[in-house]
Amino acid sequence: MATVHRIPPAPQPQLYRFSPLDFATLAMYVAIAGFFTVAGNLLAPFLRQVAPSPAAASYAVNLLFYGSVGILALLAARRVMARDLKVLATRPWFTVMMVPAAVVAMLILTAIVVAIGGEVQTSENQAGLQQLMQQVPAWLMVPVVVIVGPFVEEYIFRHLLIGKLSRRINIWVCCALSVVLFASIHIAGQEAITLTALLPYLAMGATLVFVYVWTGRNLMFSYFVHAAKNLLAVVFIYAIPPELFEQIQQVPA
């Protein structure tokens, strides 16, 4: 009889049972994201009245969203974080070398899938984030875009959707679900959802899913990769003058 090879279970399986705090964090994430996706345009006039500028209003919304969900996610995942950091500490050179290697692999995969798609389309989410970073100083954006945001997304889309949900559903189904939902949430609210807008996020999600599973479902490793990729994007945007950045975006691929 043929032997079926399966991914071995992660150590300390009790860390991969859903807790009430997991459900509360997920519910808050879905509720806030859904609210701003559906009613964001209705809320915009009010935010413009209470905020000194549209950029300040957008930043406040992102800070409130990721800050509130991030606190719950941190409390819910604190034991897994401690375990995963201890594991990575036993192989420091692996972490130091493989995080940038994974980012490079992500960029290469993104370039390939975008080239296959034949057209570069910037999602509204990405365009809005780029515009926001051109108006808000880096020291305010880094905590949201590089530190808190990636942690919330890795907790939701990797730790919950793969690490915990795979106890009930086939892990490859969970991986596919993670990639698709991760990409979809980043273009939510667009008038038309297109494959060309999805492709970069599908490539990013696939890379993060791979490193998460490959490292034994290590949440902190996938978080470091995600944070490093976002940090690279932040440095790129802030290092290029706004005028030159707009010219680069207007050049047809």
Any idea which residue has 């440095």 for tokens? 235
Catalytic choice (153, 154, 159, 226): 153
Work out the end-to-end distance of the chain between its first and last CA atoms, rounded to an integer number of angstroms: 52
**CA distances (Å), 53 to each of 13, 136, 153, in order?**
48, 11, 27
Q: Is the dihedral of CA 225, 231, 237, 240 positive or negative?
A: negative
186 is catalytic: yes
Tokens of 88: 């990575």
Q: Are 28 and 68 in contact (CB under 8 A)?
A: yes
Tokens of 160: 């919950």
Any idea which residue has 């009790």 for tokens? 14
Catalytic choice (124, 154, 159, 186): 186
- Closest C-alpha among 99, 32, 74, 37 to residue 159: 74
Tokens of 76: 């819910």
Separation of alpha carbons 201 and 210, rounded Å: 14
154 is catalytic: no
- Which residues are the active-site residues? 153, 186
